Chain A
Amino acid sequence: EADIYQTPRYLVIGTGKKITLECSQTMGHDKMYWYQQDPGMELHLIHYSYGVNSTEKGDLSSESTVSRIRTEHFPLTLESARPSHTSQYLCASSDEVSLIDTQYFGPGTRLTVL
């Protein structure tokens, strides 16, 4: 399996709390991604990064923010969690071999906001 890690795996938290979802990879990949995945639904890209100090918003609007201070670390922060944020959040990184990105996914964080 790929060397990409997410913590926590499960989080139940009350409305209004600030949370940070951690994502780390040890493969030295420049590109990293955050996806949001509701049960039985497709993955939606919410943030991505080309490399250190580079972050962009994805196709799905999200109230979360990300940072990329180190290559291996790409945390996602919600300043004030709401029930609508309840979802699974998947982090991924990719290498590029002959123009093809192969994405490696973390195990995900299942977030429940009460």
Chain B
Amino acid sequence: AQTVTQSQPEMSVQEAETVTLSCTYDTSENNYYLFWYKQPPSRQMILVIRQEAYKQQNATENRFSVNFQKAAKSFSLKISDSQLGDTAMYFCAFMKVGLYNFNKFYFGSGTKLNVKP
């Protein structure tokens, strides 16, 4: 079974500073993908960034980047130049490539990030 652990239930950061959210996962799979999703208060969950496990290069999307350590099964999210709009719950997710073209997702319990002005 796959498990995803986010050990930081809540974090705070000052506007314009950098913050790192941690995520570890446990799997025996070799072919999988990792995601960070953002869920702003009372709004829809949206994809922030994703990483293919077979790629060594860390994914980057504007101010968001990941530190993917495959051997350590770690997938942290770094947010640079934090903005007030980054305040949200952040979920780390693991996608197992499944049979019959169906891929299962497993989510962590989330980290609530509060960006302070």
Give residues of chain B (10-40) contacting chain A, Cβ–Cβ below 8 Å: 33, 37, 39
Q: Does B88 reach chain A (CB closer than 8 Å)?
A: no
Q: Does B64 reach chain A (CB closer than 8 Å)?
A: no
Q: Are B105 and A103 in contact (CB under 8 A)?
A: yes
Contacts of A45 in B (CB 8 A): 104-105
Q: Give the size category of B's interface with A.
A: 20 to 34
Contacts A40-B110, A42-B4, A100-B95 given; indicate if A106 touches B44 (C-beta within 8 A).
yes
Q: Are A99 and B105 in contact (CB under 8 A)?
A: no
CA distance A102 to B95 in the complex (A): 10
With an 8 Å Cβ cutoff, the count of chain A residues facing the other chain is 28
Q: Are B45 and A42 in contact (CB under 8 A)?
A: no
What DSSP secondary structure best describes chain A's contact surface? Answer: strand
Q: Are A99 and B109 in contact (CB under 8 A)?
A: no
CB distance from B42 to the nearest CB of A (A): 8
CA distance A102 to B103 in the complex (A): 10
Contacts of A101 in B (CB 8 A): 95, 103, 105
Contacts of A47 in B (CB 8 A): none
Q: Footprint of A on B, CB under 8 Å?
A: 4, 9, 33, 37, 39, 42-47, 50, 52, 91, 95, 97, 100-110
Q: Footprint of B on A, CB under 8 Å?
A: 1-2, 4, 31, 33, 35, 40-45, 48, 50, 59, 90, 92, 96, 99-108
Q: List 11 A-B contacts (CB under 8 A).
A: A1-B46, A4-B44, A40-B109, A40-B110, A41-B110, A42-B91, A45-B104, A59-B104, A92-B45, A100-B33, A105-B45
